[in-house]
Each structure stands twice: as structure tokens, then as C-alpha cells.
């Protein structure tokens, strides 16, 4: 299926590995013009958890390509930790990484999108936003706030032709889970942890990053032109639909 993304200018943050990189690859395969970002690589290097950096990346993308048609906010990360052990500094760091990166980039990209009367924003949240993970408390709270922010942007700017949606992936087979010292290692024996986590999904496994990227790419595209303010689960059936 042609997603209608040819020559669309797409900025994907946190996109040098994992879900972000697969999203970049898929969007480019669809003919989009994609700008990738990362702390140590990508088309524009930046630590987006620092104030001013998301705005700089948006500005440089617009200077390079004249506009931003699609913004994918994918920056995020966490460690396994207990609620009672989190310090104020831990909460602030998570706030900057998992929420403010998306807020700042979105605020920077909105004026251009509104002026053109068109734009698409996709925020990569987490299934932990819908069902908090007790071992990732700060991450769960920030990703839940991202869902509220996504809905706010959708409600405010639909009249200007801007759509905003969120994706809520479950555990995904990326370096965050599989890498040395990653989330699996932090919880015990890696193989045992991954087997248990996979068994906790109705589909019985972790997601592959390209599976999440496929949902993101659809929401980026004109094929989803009547979708805004939504939070699309891509979690193997982990969080049930409440009717």
C-alpha cells in the first residue's frame, strides 16, 4: 500500500536505534524526506532532554527543507526502579526526557504547520501510560501525561489542519530491553525475564520494532486522515479495551 508520504518532510526524534530507526527506514522507503536525530548520531545531533535543543532541531530541519510536514516524538527511556526510592532529581530527569522533549518539539513545529494549514504529529507513548508499570513508576506517569498532551494538541489545532495521535507500544525487542545492562538484565536472568515478559502478552512475545514503526508510519500518513486525538495500542493485546 502506498501511504502517500512521498516528499513529505518528516522529523523523527530519538531515531538512531530501535523503534525510531525502524520508523526512519520505513518512512524513507515510502519516499519521505526524513531527518533523524540522536545524541551521538543522526542527521542532526542533539540531546533533546536539554531545553532549547528540540527547538534547534526543528529550526534546522525547517532551514534545510523549508517545512516540517510530520513530527514523530520518539525520545524516551527508563530504568527499573522502585517508587519509594525515586528522588526529586529522578522525577525531574524523567520529566525532561520522557515528556518535555515532545512538548518542546511540538510547540516549535506548530507555528509552521498552522501557517500551512496542515501537519501531522505522532507521539510515541507506552502501554505503561494506560496500565502503569510498578517497576517503571516515573516513566509510566510521564507517558500518561504524553497521552493527555496528545489529546490537547489534537483538540486545539484540528481546525488548523493539524492532526495529533499517540502510539502505545508494549515491551519491544530493542536495545532498551535486550542490550547489556538493559531492562531485562536489571530484573534478573535475561532469558528468564524476557520469556516472562513475552508470556505476559496475549500474543506471547515482545514486539519487533518494525511492527511498531508500521503503526507510526500509518498515523503519519494521509491514509489516517480522519484519525486524530487517538492513542493506538500496539502492545500485543496487553491492555484490554474498556467498553
Domains, the chain, with CATH or none: 9-170+207-233 (3.40.50.720)
* Mean pLDDT, residues 224-231 taken together: 97
Q: Which tens digits make up the pLDDT trace of 174-185?
A: 877 788 887 877
Between CA 151 and CA 121 the distance in angstroms is 11
Q: What are phi and psi of 207, to 5 degrees?
A: -75, 155
* Mean pLDDT, residues 99-122 taken together: 98
Q: Are 48 and 71 in contact (CB under 8 A)?
A: no
Q: Which residues are catalytic?
A: 139
Helix axes 18-29, 209-220, angle to 10 degrees: 50
* 241 pLDDT more than 80: no
pTM of the full predicted structure? 0.93
* Mean pLDDT, residues 99-124 taken together: 98
pLDDT of residue 243: 45
Confidence of residue 9 (pLDDT cuts 50, 70, 90): very high
pLDDT of residue 47: 96
Amino acid at each position: 500500500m502506498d501511504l502517500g508520504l512521498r516528499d513529505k518532510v518528516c522529523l523523527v526524534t530519538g531515531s538512531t536505534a530501535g523503534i525510531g530507526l525502524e520508523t526512519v527506514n520505513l518512512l524513507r522507503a515510502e519516499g519521505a524526506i526524513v531527518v533523524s536525530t540522536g545524541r551521538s548520531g543522526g542527521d542532526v545531533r542533539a540531546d533533546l532532554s536539554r531545553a532549547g535543543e528540540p527547538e534547534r532541531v526543528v529550526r534546522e530541519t525547517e532551514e534545510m527543507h523549508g517545512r516540517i510536514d510530520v513530527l514523530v516524538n520518539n525520545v524516551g527511556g527508563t530504568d527499573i526502579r522502585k517508587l519509594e526510592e525515586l528522588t526529586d532529581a529522578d522525577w525531574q530527569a524523567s520529566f525532561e526526557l520522557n515528556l518535555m522533549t515532545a512538548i518542546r518539539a511540538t510547540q516549535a513545529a506548530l507555528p509552521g504547520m498552522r501557517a500551512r494549514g496542515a501537519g501531522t504529529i505522532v507521539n510515541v507513548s507506552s502501554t505503561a501510560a494506560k496500565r502503569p508499570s510498578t517497576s517503571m513508576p516515573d516513566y509510566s506517569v510521564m507517558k500518561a501525561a504524553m497521552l493527555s498532551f496528545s489529546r490537547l494538541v489534537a483538540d486545539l489545532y484540528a481546525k488548523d489542519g493539524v492532526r495529533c495521535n499517540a502510539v502505545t507500544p508494549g515491551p519491544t525487542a530493542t536495545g532498551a530491553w535486550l542490550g547489556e545492562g538493559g531492562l531485562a538484565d536489571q530484573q534478573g536472568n535475561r532469558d528468564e525475564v524476557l520469556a516472562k515478559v513475552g508470556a505476559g502478552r496475549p500474543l506471547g512475545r515482545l514486539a519487533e520494532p518494525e511492527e511498531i514503526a508500521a503503526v507510526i508510519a500509518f498515523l503519519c500518513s494521509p491514509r489516517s486522515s480522519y484519525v486524530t486525538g487517538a492513542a493506538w495500542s500496539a502492545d500485543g493485546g496487553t491492555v484490554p479495551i474498556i467498553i
